[in-house]
């Protein structure tokens, strides 16, 4: 028997597997990587040795209006480690600079004060000027041009008016942007809703290059890079985290060169080969990424890449924050025919994208490929309305999965952290 632990909310769920059933344990080598220093030291070292850029303190000289784009409550970015040294560097270059921390919510709900304190610490929340981006506040958006996709690029006025625009974040495999971090601070981070909708159109989501770990040829990534350049993002500090949300790598400097250094490091550790499996158990890496069903779609895509057609994905996501979006809910719950909904989405051009369509489209794609058993704290009826099967334990989920397959003898793959791996298709021959 083999015990495997799966992150779930702020805890873990464990299960003893019969090794004869276990087709594979898909984990990235991140968990085996031993960093050279503690996380705060790695961040300080990255700031002291920026990639493709002068030091931040040099960039800050003569810049009076400085904006730091910071991640929101849905991201496990250790902002309390990153922001203080960034502030010190800025003030080293210009002690009198006006600094604004702009929270990159994208199209998410606003971050609460308690969530800000949890991310930054009470001192920063009490003493720094923090503004939460709202993608629907038209008066606070500026049109800076036309995206390669053809959509208008509208960005938060604070970012555009900055004398120096910088950002923090973290890099992980991303299920349609290839990787998170870097340019994503601008788009979707501080973009207007219509800009995000154009970038997340059904055509791009369906593109075979809009997948985990792929940047080259990815139309969504191309838009994001254009927006970051047009907004004049000058400097980033990004980190890579392990499953315990500890910093194991940090990169700083030019937004594209530094991000490239981070994705190169990550890609060397995250790639895993797909296995043949009837059932795949996956997660969203626990809190904060498994706060709602909307975010949990990310972890499902890792399982999608390795489960056989007609198989079962068991998704573990505590979902204490519920569904995560009214549009997402109604797009699935209001129409019993998922094939019909997918046809409607694919018929829309880039300018007709509606909110949350991209997330629904990806979940529909997964549901067309496999059954999904959703292990969470959510009401069973709500999960069923989203075309998934509810469960509240791994044992219960496995029992249900075997019923759905109509057999007891199965091959099971385990992915303890579905957002930390890049599952690669097995090569023929």
Q: Which of 73, 108, 221, 387 is catalytic?
A: 108
Mean pLDDT by 10 residues, the chain (429 residues): 95 95 93 92 98 98 97 90 98 98 92 94 97 96 95 97 97 94 97 94 95 95 98 98 91 98 94 95 94 95 96 97 94 97 94 92 97 98 98 98 96 95 69
- Provide the greatest CA pair distance for the chain: 69
Is 108 part of the annotated catalytic residue set? yes
Nearest 5°: the CA angle 183, 188, 192 is 130
Helix (H, G, I), strand (E, B) or coil at 95: coil
Rounded Cα distance between 222 and 203, Å, is 14
Instruction: Please report the pLDDT score of residue 426 as a whole number.
Output: 58
pLDDT at 65: 98
User: What's the first-to-final CA gap in the chain, in angstroms?
Assistant: 31
Tokens of 319: 């979902």
Q: Which of 66, 27, 45, 19 is nearest to 163 (CA)?
A: 66
Q: Are 38 and 248 in contact (CB under 8 A)?
A: no
**Which residues fall within 8 angstroms of residue 253, CB to CB, at 6 or more apart?**
46, 50, 51, 52, 53, 235, 236
Predicted pLDDT at 428: 42
The pTM of the full predicted model, rounded to 2 decimals, is: 0.86
- The phi and psi torsions of 325 (rounded to 5 degrees) equal 170, 130
Domain borders along the chain are: 2-26+275-424, 39-269
CB atoms within 10 A of CB 74: 20
DSSP 51: B
* SS3 state of residue 353: coil
If one looks up domain 2-26+275-424 in CATH, what number appears? 3.90.226.30
Beta strands in 190-316 (DSSP E): 233-241, 247-253, 271-273, 277-283, 307-316
Rg (alpha carbons) of the chain, rounded to whole number: 21
Catalytic residue among 15, 73, 174, 371: 174
User: From the centroid of its chain, how far is CA 302?
Assistant: 13
What is 39-269's CATH topology? Rossmann fold (3.40.50)
pLDDT at 429: 36
Helix (H, G, I), strand (E, B), or coil: what is residue 176?
Answer: coil
């Amino acid at each position: 028997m083999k015990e495997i632990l799966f992150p779930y909310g702020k805890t873990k769920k464990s299960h003893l597997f019969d090794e004869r059933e276990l087709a594979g344990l898909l984990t990235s080598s991140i968990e085996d990587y031993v960093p050279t220093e503690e996380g705060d030291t790695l961040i300080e070292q990255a700031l002291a040795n920026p990639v493709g850029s002068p030091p931040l303190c040099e960039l800050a000289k003569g810049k009076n209006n400085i904006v730091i784009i910071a991640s929101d409550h849905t991201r496990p970015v250790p902002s309390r480690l990153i922001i203080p040294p960034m502030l010190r560097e800025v003030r080293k270059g210009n002690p009198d600079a006006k600094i604004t921390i702009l929270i990159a919510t994208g199209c998410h709900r606003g971050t609460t004060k308690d969530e800000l304190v949890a991310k930054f610490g009470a001192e920063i929340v009490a003493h720094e000027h923090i503004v939460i981006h709202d993608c629907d506040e038209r008066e606070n958006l500026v049109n800076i041009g036309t995206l390669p996709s053809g959509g208008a690029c509208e960005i938060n006025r604070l970012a555009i008016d900055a004398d120096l625009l910088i950002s923090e974040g973290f890099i992980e495999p991303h299920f349609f942007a290839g990787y998170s971090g870097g340019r994503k601070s601008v788009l979707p981070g501080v973009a207007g809703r219509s800009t995000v909708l154009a970038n997340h159109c059904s055509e791009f989501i369906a593109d075979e290059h809009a997948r985990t770990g792929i940047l080259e040829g990815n139309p969504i990534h191309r838009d994001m890079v254009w927006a970051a350049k047009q907004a004049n993002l000058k400097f980033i500090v990004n980190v890579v985290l392990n499953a315990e949300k500890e910093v194991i790598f940090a990169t700083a400097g030019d937004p594209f060169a530094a991000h490239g250094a981070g994705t190169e490091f990550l890609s060397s550790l995250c790639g895993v080969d797909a296995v043949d499996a009837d059932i795949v158990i996956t997660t969203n890496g626990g809190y904060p990424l498994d706060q709602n069903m909307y975010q949990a779609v990310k972890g499902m895509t890792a399982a999608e890449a390795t489960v056989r057609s007609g198989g079962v994905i068991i998704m573990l996501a505590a979902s204490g924050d519920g569904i995560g979006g009214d549009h997402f809910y109604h797009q699935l719950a209001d129409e019993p025919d998922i094939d019909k909904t997918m046809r409607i989405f694919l018929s829309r051009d880039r300018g007709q994208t509606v909110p949350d369509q991209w997330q629904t489209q990806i979940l529909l794609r997964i549901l067309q490929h496999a059954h999904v058993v959703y292990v969470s704290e959510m009401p069973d009826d709500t999960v069923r309305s989203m075309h998934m099967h509810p469960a509240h334990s791994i044992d219960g989920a496995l029992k249900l999965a075997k019923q759905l397959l109509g057999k007891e003898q199965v091959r099971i793959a385990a992915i303890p952290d579905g957002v930390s791996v890049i599952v690669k298709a097995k090569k023929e021959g």
